Amino acid sequence: MPITISLVEDNDKLRGTLARLLDGAEGFRCISQYASAEDALAGLPKDKPDIVLMDINLPGINGVECVRRLKQTAPEIAAVMLTAYEDTENIFNALAAGATGYLLKRAPRAELLDAIREVRRGGSPMTTHIARKVVQSFQKQSPAALTAEALSAREQEVLDHLSQGFLYKEIADKMGISYETVHTYIRRIYEKLQVRTRTEAVAKFLRR
């Protein structure tokens, strides 16, 4: 089954380009497009896409608020921000609202498709540049002890790779282990740190 995707983007030209990219790639299908958050909130719960690519700077309700409201009505839909904004405030507001990932519009198309696949597999992709900003922001905060069982050396290595924005497959390749083993490590990390997302895990890891 193809990965079904909806677009929320007010730039008609870009929206059309993205739709053609997705429909032309094997294993992907763009099932709906919206130019505003208001229309998206009305239509997405009925469309039921696997993933929605969400712009931030939308007319009326912005993309971050759209994600927040969408998560209340259709929590099963994964929302990935696809935006030109790379400031820390927008990044954290989007993640706090429930966004699964955060990508820049200038990201190569192959990277975008890989990120969508990563979301489908349960990951939380971020452009490497964005992941670095997240890490730097956490590093500026005061240190704090981990609140759960200490991580093993191998788990710390996985989490370090996560903090650098690497995808699960890339971590598997770097560490010479299987994709499934990476998932196992991440599940254990989440359990030990008592978190549910990559961002929360990285935050606790860097505050230790």
Q: What is the pLDDT of residue 146?
A: 44
Output the CA–CA distances (angstroms, integers) from residue 62 to 9, 69, 80, 166, in the order listed: 11, 11, 14, 28
Say yes or no: domain 3-135 is CATH 3.40.50.740.
no
Give the residue extent of every domain in the chain. 3-135, 142-206
Q: What is the pLDDT of residue 104?
A: 87
Q: What is the pLDDT of residue 133?
A: 66
CATH numeric code, 142-206 = 1.10.10.10
Say whether pLDDT at 203 is over 70: no
Average pLDDT over residues 162-180: 85
Say whether pLDDT at 147 is over 50: no
Taking alpha carbons only, the member of 114, 191, 201, 188 closest to residue 162 is: 201
Q: Which residue has the higher pLDDT, 66 or 104?
A: 66
pTM for the full model? 0.67
Say whether pLDDT at 25 is over 80: yes
Say whether pLDDT at 88 is over 80: no
Q: Which residue has the higher pLDDT, 192 or 120?
A: 120
